[in-house]
Chain A
Amino acid sequence: MAVAATEARAVAPAPKLLKDAALTALVALVLALPLIGLQTVDAGGGGLAIRTHFDRVAYGVAAVFLGRLLLGWWGAIRAARPARDAPAVAERLGRIVSRFSHPLAIAGIAFAVALPFLPFSSRYVVDLGTTVLIYVMLGWGLNIVVGLAGLLDLGYVAFYAVGAYTIGLLARNFGFGFWEALPLSGLVAASFGLVLGFPVLRLRGDYLAIVTLGFGEIIRIVLTNWTAVTGGPNGIGDIPRPTFFGLPLERSAPKGVTTFAQFFGIDFQAEHRVWFLYFVILGLALITNFFARRIRRLPIGRAWEALREDEIACRALGINATNTKLSAFAIGAMFGGFAGCFFGARQGFISPESFSFMQSAIILAIVVLGGMGSQMGVVLAALVLICLPELGRGLAEFRMLAFGAAMVLIMVWRPGGLLSRRRPAILLHGAAGPPSPQGAG
């Protein structure tokens, strides 16, 4: 009797699982029927004919049915013995990474510095590294706004665009070089941050996200349509590349200007420029990181975190919430502007296409997947998100699918982000813990 009862209980979820899988399959059928099942083909003479692929629909729906069934079955098994599940493993991993974050950071920086000189390195690898570092820098910048101050900003790419167009316009109209334009790009982006922040910071959460999303689009549309100033969809070209203390890294320079290669008496190589750009962005990213880590220990950074935790309590403690939020917005925007300035100088050409919402989404994904507020997590997530589509170029159009799947997996596996442990910025007792053995009461 008792055995039968347990068996009955164990079997009981089976119909439920089947029903669940059937429902999922039905949804898949509804979606797949028009998307996969019907294909329009050229019937000749300018007409279109419909070809049906119901066999493919059937395969797809069967795969969804079986997949859902297996997933549910696996979930039921896992629920039965929760002793050793993935989140616990991930949690342990996160703890290890946060404990060894110092040596890991040093090793990471050493690797980043050595990257161009490693045997497997090539021009492509260094170029990819530059792209990753731009996103790492953007991630660290956005982390100030989202991770520290808790303001969900979906339009961060707007500040990136402002930075890039600042150098573009200054170079085209006033002959500015990269290094002169860099501080101005940050300043202009920060002022845009203030202008946006001022009216919208009374909004919270989702509402703020929607307004910032709109702001990002406004900037992009203005850039596209204000042809007289921004060049519209044609963009701005001929942005000067960064110089090495005034020495351009070009094959030939105009009269009176010594190139980098001539000055050091070496042969010109295009790799030098790629390496140099790589080290410039590495430096900029490290400055961003230094700033972000440093500011957490300062009163303003602490106030940002407090504001994220509880705005009402902040007001009761005499903190001016509006100004504090504005400062977070402006400083985050400033780093976006720096990164944009570098992007413009690196590409030599900018157009509104580079600043689509997709960019904002990727930067935000880097921050969220990495674990909000985690510096190391941003690096890890940027590596995953930028390298994965690059490595997956062989997958052609499926790489975005793989990208999405990877994001879903990370969120299932570790909903708080890859590394989401918060480390206190200041300790009373130091790392050793309180002197007396009894801890919390």
Chain B
Amino acid sequence: MPESAALLEVEHLTMRFGGLVAIEDLSFTALHGEITAMIGPNGAGKTTVFNCITGFYKASAGRIALHGKRGDFLLERMEGFRIAKLAGVARTFQNIRLFAGMTALENLLVAQHEALQRASIFTIGGLVGLPGFRRAESAAIERARHWLAKVGLVDCADLAAGNLPYGAQRRLEIARAMCTEPTLLCLDEPAAGLNPRESHALNRLLLDIRDEAKIGILLIEHDMSVVMGISDRIVVLDYGRKIADGTPQAVRSDPAVIKAYLGEAEATADATPC
């Protein structure tokens, strides 16, 4: 797969809720090995775009094509769980959705359910303890350990995810998404509620994921230090429409963007939005 080939093509995406048009005729492209940020004021429809891509909403109109390493998929026609399972789209949530009662390690193993389930020959092989399943299980634990190390949570592996500090929960959710071995990683406000030091560490983590795993990242973020620091491309939404699309430098100086968004946001760039 050549670098800078299109990974995700969103074409004429429209999402209506009754009379409310949340997204109107939105088209953009995210490339392989790039971080594409989606910004815009509250209520601009960013999370709705995510929900359409990840299959939680069925788009009213438009096409969402993914050209991943597992093949080409039309996401708008797929069921939610299949998008994650077959097409390899992983996501995190604006309000963290970890399995709070389960340990960090178990959270990461649930993310590898598909591979483990196949190795356990749909439970029967696992019940009798086939060696193939044991190998798959230790490989899964190794992958989990790798990602726990990446996000600095190896020591917390056996603690309940819900008892971890807020920043750790955010990082664990990213690690969990990465354990599904995605082609496209969608992060919904990963820096929300993080202090400047933590969001700086997040920047490094995301760049690391991009360069090492060579996947595309789609990012919703309000924290401009994250957006401007790591994005290769920025899509700006306002009232469900795209008002700008380009490199951080181009977007920063776009008059429409300044008018709609950055003009107000610059003053609160370091504040933590909710």
Could you tell me which A residues sit within 8 Å of B by CB distance? 291, 294-295, 297-300, 302-303, 305-306, 309-310, 312-321, 327, 422, 424-429, 433-434, 436, 438-441
Contacts and interface: CB of A to CB of B under 8 A. Distances in A.
Interface string B144-176: 110010001011111110011100100000001
B158 A433 contact: yes
A441 B165 contact: yes
Residue of A314, A317, A428, A438 with most partner-chain B CB within 10 A:
A317
A295 B123 CA distance: 8
Contacts of B145: 428
Interface of B: 54-56, 80-86, 90-91, 93, 97-103, 105-107, 109-114, 116-117, 120, 122-123, 126-127, 141, 144-145, 148, 152, 154-160, 163-165, 168, 176-177, 180
Given A305-B99, A429-B157, A315 B81 contact: yes
A303 B80 CA distance: 16
Contact of A439 (B56, B97, B127, B155): B155
B117 A299 contact: yes
Nearest to A313: B97
A422 B97 CA distance: 19
B95 to A, nearest CB: 10
Given A303-B110, A434-B158, A440-B168, A310 B99 contact: yes
A317 B154 contact: no
B110 A319 contact: yes
A422 to B, nearest CB: 6
A309 B123 contact: no
Nearest to B127: A294
B81 A428 contact: no
Contacts of B113: 299, 302-303, 306, 317-319
A428 B84 contact: no
A438 B155 contact: yes
23 contacts: A294-B127, A297-B126, A298-B120, A299-B112, A299-B116, A300-B123, A303-B113, A305-B102, A306-B110, A312-B56, A315-B55, A316-B84, A316-B90, A317-B176, A320-B81, A427-B103, A427-B157, A428-B105, A428-B141, A434-B155, A439-B155, A440-B159, A441-B168
Nearest to B84: A318
A315 B93 CA distance: 12
Nearest to A434: B155
Contacts of A314: 81, 110
Contact of A425 (B100, B106, B117): B106
Contacts of A297: 126
A312 B123 CA distance: 23
Given A316-B54, A434-B158, A310 B97 contact: yes
Contacts of A427: 103, 105, 157-158
A309 B176 CA distance: 15
Contacts of A312: 56, 93, 97
Contact of B156 (A327, A425, A439): A439
A242 B154 CA distance: 53
Given A434-B155, A440-B164, A309 B100 contact: yes
B120 A302 contact: no
Contacts of A434: 154-158
B195 to A, nearest CB: 13
Residue of A305, A314, A428, A441 with most partner-chain B CB within 10 A:
A428
B120 A299 contact: yes
Contacts of A433: 158
Nearest to A422: B101
Residue of A295, A298, A299, A426 with most partner-chain B CB within 10 A:
A299
A425 B158 CA distance: 10
A441 B156 contact: yes
A305 B103 CA distance: 11
A295 B99 contact: no
A425 B157 CA distance: 13
A65 to B, nearest CB: 42
A318 B106 contact: no
Instruction: List the 10 shortest-distance A-B pairs measured between CB atoms, nearest first.
Output: A318-B85, A318-B84, A428-B157, A309-B99, A299-B116, A313-B97, A298-B126, A434-B155, A306-B110, A299-B117
A424 B103 contact: yes
Contacts of B177: 316-317
Contact of B158 (A299, A305, A424): A424
Contacts of B117: 299-300, 303
A306 B105 CA distance: 12
A188 B82 CA distance: 31
Contacts of B157: 427-429, 434
Contacts of A428: 105, 141, 144-145, 148, 154, 157-158
Given A317-B176, A428-B154, A434-B156, 18 more contacts: A294-B127, A299-B112, A300-B120, A300-B126, A302-B109, A302-B110, A305-B101, A306-B107, A309-B102, A316-B54, A316-B84, A318-B81, A320-B81, A424-B106, A424-B158, A427-B103, A428-B105, A433-B158
B106 A426 contact: yes
B84 A317 contact: yes
Contact of A318 (B144, B152, B159, B180): B180
Contacts of B85: 318-320
Contacts of B107: 306
A321 B109 CA distance: 16
B77 to A, nearest CB: 16
Nearest to A424: B103
Contacts of A306: 99, 102, 106-107, 110, 113
Nearest to A299: B116
